[in-house]
């Protein structure tokens, strides 16, 4: 079994880093007005809304950190990392699940529609990137890692040894 995130997923995560970095700069007002070709002032309305101020730090920065983690974890995808270091692919796919499925992408789109009642083009692009990364990876890495962990546990290794892999 050979599993690794597709290069396209890593490229999309790099694009996500750029989008989230720009959105963070708009949110902290380094960039005065956010670029929004579809919704006029939508980016400013979303990034300066009560929803975006709910956290003690810019919420776009959380996306930046998550995309950067996807890039770093994706770049560690050499050969059989799912066997050697199962924690790495598990983390890659967990970050992808957090960005793409239930947590960030869908929740932020719903918040724009139902709470802020305004749309942000780049925010929607970021959500699409997150879902695309998850779709491309299809959790192959995590499935392979879980199989390796089960095999290690069946062979009598501890959870720690099975999760962290061979030293």
Residue 102 and residue 36: Cα distance in Å, rounded?
25
Band of pLDDT at residue 102, cut at 50, 70 and 90 = low
Band of pLDDT at residue 40, cut at 50, 70 and 90 = very high
Domains of the chain: 7-164 (1.20.1440)
More confident call, 135 vs 83: 135
Band of pLDDT at residue 118, cut at 50, 70 and 90 = very high
Residues with Cβ < 8 Å from 70, sequence gap 6 or more?
9, 10, 13, 16, 92, 95, 96, 99, 133
pTM (predicted TM-score) = 0.82
Q: CB–CB of 13/71 below 8 Å?
A: yes
């Amino acid at each position: 079994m050979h599993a690794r995130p597709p290069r396209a997923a890593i490229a999309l995560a790099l694009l996500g880093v750029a989008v989230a970095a720009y959105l963070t700069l708009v949110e902290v007002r380094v960039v005065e007005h956010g670029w929004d070709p579809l919704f006029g002032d939508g980016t400013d309305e979303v990034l300066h809304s009560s929803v975006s101020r709910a956290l003690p730090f810019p919420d776009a920065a959380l996306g930046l950190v998550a995309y950067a983690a996807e890039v770093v974890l994706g770049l560690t995808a050499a050969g059989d990392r799912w066997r050697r270091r199962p924690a790495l692919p598990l983390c890659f796919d967990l970050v992808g699940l957090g960005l793409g499925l239930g947590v960030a992408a869908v929740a932020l789109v719903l918040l724009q529609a139902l709470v802020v009642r305004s749309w942000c083009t780049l925010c929607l692009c970021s959500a699409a990137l997150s879902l695309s990364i998850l779709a491309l990876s299809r959790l192959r890495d995590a499935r392979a890692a879980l199989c390796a962990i089960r095999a290690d546990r069946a062979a009598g290794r501890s959870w720690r040894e099975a999760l962290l892999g061979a030293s």
